[in-house]
Structure 1
């Protein structure tokens, strides 16, 4: 059975870690200052806990992001077939894994407000499955579904908030996605058993805005699965326990490509860059799916049988 761990504080106290048992929390005694510290030195203590050790009511605790800001925040883009199709891309023509990073300072909690910067109008959401590294990798390794659990420690919920009016015209993923608060993570770290790691494809991703379902898909729709991506990343640079990989988003984002292939071709080939983006922004101004101040988002990832449940995020959009 999967182990569920949270990071929390009591009042103005220092951050702590604890095991979650229903609506109660069993605090860990160790001082684990980072997610990497917890994974390397605290999971054994967490696994030894029992429900009888849980004395703190979850409702009375302040939830903190379970991935700390010292860790790498690595991301995949264009990784769900359904999302590629809504973006005007044939998934059968994708021949490489799109990798980028978000600033770790964008990480925020699974509850509360997300601030829309004053100059941003096209604010979008991207619900993603987060995979948290479990061991140090300092050279190329071969990872597959059978040994993924030896390299990855936990799963979590990620929302890759994106300012499309920065990201798209500037072709700058990092800039458009790295504002403070643009990376809600949590509420939990869920540590699956080796058998449960093989159920990743059954994880059901759902996101609603003001009660309307916007995203509803399964992790099995990924093109490049976590094992493949970690194998590729290991050939590029070092990875550390606690580093976070966000694995892409299913269909349903606010931003979509023009439905007309002729129009899309004309925008790419016949119109200047300045004119193309002027037309794009004019069209997107009519798109009511972008996040507005006052909007309420709820995001969850769990298997339909409930055996793997990464919890829910609840956020409200506010204007800077």
Structure 2
């Protein structure tokens, strides 16, 4: 059975606790990082946790992934998102991997600050997976042993400055502005029997109450097991690290058709990107100051409910 954990601030002290029915049972101990918390608290032990509770309404949310962990992301990883981006998911032969700066990580109810130089601010709801242990060599991860590698799941919103990311070809820069990575509210710790539910989670994102994204993790092109296998052959991973698995269709970003992209390839660089930016100007879906973005991820049986992220778009202070 899945177990929902909150990292929170109460009376000036950062704590971790098990959440159920709007109340928190504090977990004894001091854990400054996600890695320390996961390594000290097997989900089986937390199932029998008891003690005094506090109302969740009395605490301040913190991110369940701390800023010392790696923030690794997958791009173009849902079938419909690939199709709307002009790609064929059946012929894609590579897993797009990039990173975000961990300084962009904020709690799930934080405002997202729209930088003054950014015109096209986009949203991307994603399932985030938190690693259970260190991986320091090439390993073969399968659906059968995935529970040995994944501690739990969180909501991630991969906010993106499309006018930086695309024309400058700067994924890291365009996605790493401060506040561009809300995580949580809950870290859902998973037992072995919960792992199959990762393939049936429903992701929903709204802007000002209107649904923009709604899809299931059944649409993932590269799943967690094959992704972790691939990454383990490249670099080290640590307990508590975050893997954001990609976003479904419905983003504000508009990609030219393959025919238009081939035609644009013949144009001078400046003209090509002028036309791209003009196309984006016609998209009312891009976020504006005052917009309210909410994101939720839940399993079909509701045993996994990662809570609701609530972000208000704010203007950058002068």
**Shared fold (TM-score greater than 0.5)?**
yes
Asked if residue 280 in structure 1 is aligned to residue 279 in structure 2, the reply is no
Q: Write the mapping of 1:56-71 to structure 2, written as runs, cut at 5 A.
A: 56-71=54-69
The residue aligned with 1:316 is 312
Residue of structure 1 in register with 2:211 after alignment: 213
Does residue 7 (structure 1) correspond to residue 3 (structure 2)? The answer is no
Q: Distance in 1 between matches of 2:260 and 2:196?
A: 42
Report how far residue 54 of structure 1 moved: 4.8
**CA distance in 1 between partners of 2:252 and 2:210 (Å):** 13
State the secondary structure of the residue aligned to 1:229: helix
Unaligned runs of 5+ in 1: none
Aligned to 2:33: 34
Q: How many angstroms does 1:19 deviate by?
A: 0.8
1:294 partnered with 2:290? yes
2:84 corresponds to 1:86: yes
In 2, the alpha carbon distance for the partners of 1:256 and 1:149 equals 37
CA contact (8 A) 2:254 2:283 kept: no
CA offsets per residue over residues 201-241 of structure 1, 9 Å max, x none?
A: 11000000001100000001111101111111111111110
TM-score by length of 2: 0.97
- Partner of 1:66, secondary structure, is coil
Q: Any gaps of 5 or more consecutive residues in structure 2?
A: none
Q: Spell out, residue by residue over 1:242-296, the C-alpha distance to the aligned partner (whole angstroms, 9 max, x if none).
A: 000000010000002124x4323211x2211111111111221121000100000
What CA distance in whole angstroms lies between the structure 1 residues aligned with 2:124 and 2:231?
22
Q: Distance in 1 between matches of 2:106 and 2:313?
A: 13
Q: Which residue of 1 aligns with 2:234?
A: 236
Corresponding residue of 2:156: 158
Deviation (angstroms), 1:200? 1.0
- Number of matched residues? 315
Aligned equivalent of 2:302, options 295, 298, 306: 306
- The Cα of 1:196 is off from its aligned counterpart by 1.1
The answer to whether 1:48 aligns with 2:44 is no
Q: Could you report, residue by residue, the CA deviation over 1:134-190 in whole angstroms, capped at 9, with x for unpaired residues?
A: 011110111111110111101000000000000001111100000111001000110
RMSD: 1.1
Moved over 4 A (4+): none
Give the one of 232, 236, 246 matched to 1:248. Answer: 246
- The answer (yes or no) to whether the contact 1:39–1:242 under 8 Å persists in 2 is yes
Q: 1:270 matched to which residue of 2?
A: 266
- Alpha-carbon distance in structure 2 between the residues aligned to 1:136 and 1:18: 24
1:21–1:54 CA contact under 8 A, matched in 2: no
